[in-house]
Amino acid sequence: MLRWLTAGESHGPELIAVLEGLPAGVPVSLDEIREDLARRKLGYGRGSRMKFEQDELHLSGGVVQGVSIGGPVAIRVGNTEWPKWTEVMNPEPTELSEKSRGRGAPLTRPRPGHADLTGMQKYGFAEARPVLERASARETAARVALGAVARAFLRELGITLVSHTVALGDVAVPAGARLPRPEDVAALDADPLRCFDAGTSAQMVVEVDDTKKSGDTVGGIVEVLAYGLPPGLGSYVHWDRRLDSRLAGALMGIQAIKGVEVGDGFETTRRRGSVAHDELHVVDGEITRDTGRAGGIEGGMTTGQILRVRAGMKPIATVPHALPTIDTATGEETKAHHQRSDVSAVPAAGVVAEAMVALVLADAVTEKFGGDSVAETRRNLQGYLAAIPDQLTTAIES
Ligand SMILES: Cc1cc2nc3c(=O)[nH]c(=O)nc-3n(C[C@H](O)[C@H](O)[C@H](O)COP(=O)(O)O)c2cc1C
Ligand SMILES: C=C(O[C@@H]1CC(C(=O)O)=C[C@@H](OP(=O)(O)O)[C@H]1O)C(=O)O
């Protein structure tokens, strides 16, 4: 079993992340985690903070000489915005000096669509600062760092992940377009929207520009693919063992994600059963499926096909052309608070979604194959595959 937790606020000193249950012997590279943190900042449409904030990475436990040793992996990601917030966000009671008064002014104009108002009601705050500090997707930097470690573990077992943007507002990648493969990741990261179709990406750039010009924000859809998965991760025997349920929960747990699809998802509901599933045939003595409509999951278990899941992100709630709200200090109608925000963070959400899928898959792998070292996990995986009778053998798509 893998467990993970994050702590820290958007303008606090740092984010903290812990991953417990990782077997020993996984190569963990600081550079690789840094690269992933940098990928999370990519994407046309992100706000100014992405340009000046650095993610200061520290590995504080669980890795020695570049290899996991079986103990909890502890990661710190420093917020370089912190020096401006040392008074307002100080853990000890601190009198605000003149320079911090503006920054520390009570936020009493909650943004519709953000956590502000309900967070104030629920936790008993008179203003939204303590709410937005933790609700903020700054926290996703910690998850991406953990996801990079989970991905390194999966790679040792021949499992690789890819994420990409498939829609931004109304602009979508055409149906039937080729799926990006692991060797396409560099090209994806070089694209301003992390979109694999150059023509669609160019239209998405225009969509971001138009949205920005009109003082608005825009959402979209990201897709995560996993190659090289063995059949049988997850289970049908109980709802909370179903891999699709666990993936959906993990993806919905990302800020601003409002919908999840597995495989063809809602499109499947519009089809007749005869064209909705992935038929079984025998080719060269091996069971094969010609289509991937189910997204590589049947009965809550991986089938050995490419795993394909999608997450839909709503438009950013901090709309520059601010939305009507109530000033909770006066009870009067006013406009929501706004300083800066992303126009779109859809490409970044793809990188976060990839991290969450990596964590869920790594958890499912440790559950099925166990192992205190990655060598043991690999042996158990190989033994399991070898024990599947020939007449039940399917190809693993990698
Ligand atoms: C990568 C990423 C960046 C985000 N950036 C912003 C932002 O700049 N402004 C904003 O209002 N919301 C942003 N959000 C979304 C909010 O964090 C989210 O809407 C808020 O926490 C409320 O949660 P909910 O939308 O799931 O209800 C971002 C989300 C992600 C995943
Ligand atoms: C800091 C990050 O994203 C932030 C997520 C976010 C929100 O409300 O979720 C609001 C913005 O923060 P600020 O209001 O300070 O500019 C984003 O910049 C990040 O992703 O590293």
Contacts 24+ apart (CB under 8 A), 206-211: 207/168, 207/169, 207/170, 207/171, 208/44, 208/45, 208/168, 208/343, 208/344, 211/45, 211/169, 211/343, 211/344
**SS3 assignment for 228-263:** CCCCCCECCCCHHHCHHHHHHHHHHCCCCEEEEEEC
CA of 55 to the centre of ligand 2 (A): 13
Q: Whose alpha carbon is nearest atom 20 of ligand 2? A: 138
CA of 70 to the centre of ligand 1 (A): 34
Q: How many residues in the chain?
A: 398
Half-sphere exposure of 368 (CA within 13 A, CB side): 25
46 carries a ligand binding annotation: yes
In this prediction, residue 165 carries a pLDDT of 98
In this prediction, residue 249 carries a pLDDT of 98
Residue bearing tokens 């919908």: 259
Residue 204 region by backbone torsions, left for phi larger than 0, else alpha for psi between -120 and 50, else beta:
alpha
In this prediction, residue 54 carries a pLDDT of 87
**Pair of tokens at residue 302:** 């991986």
In this prediction, residue 285 carries a pLDDT of 85
In this prediction, residue 339 carries a pLDDT of 82
CA of 314 to the centre of ligand 2 (A): 15
**Local structure of 32: helix, strand or coil:** helix
Q: In which residue ranges of the chain is pLDDT below 50? A: none
**CA atoms of 192 and 204, how far apart (whole Å):** 9
212 carries a ligand binding annotation: no
Q: Comparing C-alpha atoms, which of 309, 395, 392 is closest to residue 353?
A: 309
In this prediction, residue 48 carries a pLDDT of 83
316 carries a ligand binding annotation: yes
Q: Whose alpha carbon is nearest atom 22 of ligand 1? A: 114
Ligand nearest to the CA of 344: 1
**Is the entire prediction scored with pTM above 0.90?**
yes
**CA atoms of 324 and 9, how far apart (whole Å):** 27
**Are 132 and 107 contacting, i.e. CB atoms less than 8 angstroms apart?**
yes
Instruction: Write the CA distances from 379 to 80, 157, 329, 384, integer angstroms.
Output: 43, 10, 63, 9
